Chains A and B, each alone.
Chain A
């Protein structure tokens, strides 16, 4: 049914329909509305789950780890510093092969403290072993949660999945959402049956000390599973389309790529703004396009290569930094083409929209304009040079 919903309310509702047995979270802006609503839903008896109040994100992550270790579907959500406080546990959840599903309201990181949107928190966790999806709009956020549960809990995968939604822009924005019915969700997502769990009748150990004899293979297997997830995601999105009538690729999405001479690569809600600019520029005869990356982990290198191998000029937008190095997404996109027979003539890298600095149509047009010149390396868009001149001597 189509409804006008705040992004956070839409997430709480789809999580309710996915029927986790345990929800545990600690509030942090801009994630708070999601878990407040879920607490209300549980208190009202609309979801048969334990909502475990905790004193920190470290404990929230530990609670959902424990729930999955006992074979119970679980859910949590966080943001920014909360994600970092969870991070020790997050690596464990992935390593122990427990399919926790988490929403992250993507937000900047301290210091200086800032509550607004960028991707510095989530992108920092790219090596944690979690599958990481990025959504463009609220409908996609909702749908990716369903795909996340199916993917993570698939017996061939058994990995946690993070669904990233841009803080405020999507968590606090209202738009029309086609909310699936409980019957549709039940059909697509069967109850969770853990292939292994803590059970006094059949004792086993999860997350034990593993010596050099075995550790490498455990990590190799984790990495290999990410490759397998790359193959499974398009199958799941195809099945999703059959049940719900909405089509996603799940890995990447091209927009006006066919004859495009200049293409921007980006993730998240900024892709909507980019599509709007592309339509304006196309109306003036400019051959421009977008490649949206939905799955940052596993990284869809082959899909990116196939989509962009004949594109003359590429620009990668990062809403995060890898301080002291290349902008993170740009480095990975460039790696896709190294040693390949076909590649773009230019790949530029732009950093935009940190800490909630608004990304306007002009910001995007500036990037398309700058693609005419030499390659740019982590060039900041909308930077205010006058603010860099402070002197404290």
Chain B
């Protein structure tokens, strides 16, 4: 079983992110359970979305406290929350942000953090600062949980026409960026 925790603000697309991730796993024949947890239930309020995935149906209904992976859609949340709480010893975190914008988190030796300027990527390809698909591309490259093709198939299922094309390009750029970081 793998557990992914997404940190965002309500309205930033975290549920769509979890749904895309879930759908990509579903297409691979796995059993995902993707679900949100709202805080103040208002746009802009910090919230979480989660994906729990296994080879058999997921029965556990609690929130995720010891994630294998963390995706931080809005790095300003890191000021008030420990987004790395419970992250596994060899866990991976993807942060939406640029160098100098985000203070390097204190991590354990085997943990990995990838900084992805996902909003810039999204602005370029989608025209709106919704970096979710770029972050998911980065997630695929950083974790090897899913191939880029799996993610693109999920994006095609979710979006049509121009939005689909833009999101695929954003996912690809996020993927390549992290692939190059790992190589470099």
Identify the A interface with B (CB < 8 A).
4, 6, 29, 115, 137, 166, 168-169, 172-176, 269-270, 272-273, 275-276, 358-361
Contacts and interface: CB of A to CB of B under 8 A. Distances in A.
Contacts of B164: none
B181 interface: no
Given A273-B62, A358-B62, A358-B63, A176 B36 contact: no
B41 interface: yes
Given A168-B38, A169-B35, A173-B33, A4 B26 contact: yes
A25 B153 CA distance: 35
Interface string B31-48: 111111110010000000
A263 B33 CA distance: 26
13 contacts: A29-B41, A115-B38, A169-B61, A172-B35, A174-B33, A174-B35, A176-B26, A176-B32, A272-B59, A272-B60, A273-B59, A359-B61, A360-B65
Contact of A275 (B15, B59, B65): B59
Interface of B: 15, 18-19, 22-23, 26, 31-38, 41, 57-63, 65
B32 A4 contact: yes
B21 to A, nearest CB: 10
A175 B31 contact: yes
Contacts of B59: 137, 272-273, 275-276
A360 B41 CA distance: 22
A108 to B, nearest CB: 13
B154 to A, nearest CB: 9
A169 B31 CA distance: 16
A174 B60 contact: no
A276 B56 CA distance: 12
Nearest to B49: A172
Contacts of B32: 4, 174-176
Given A29-B41, A168-B38, A269 B33 contact: no
A273 B59 CA distance: 6
B61 A174 contact: no
A173 B34 contact: yes
A10 to B, nearest CB: 13
Contact of B60 (A4, A6, A273): A273
Contacts of B26: 4, 176
B62 A361 contact: yes
Contacts of A361: 60, 62
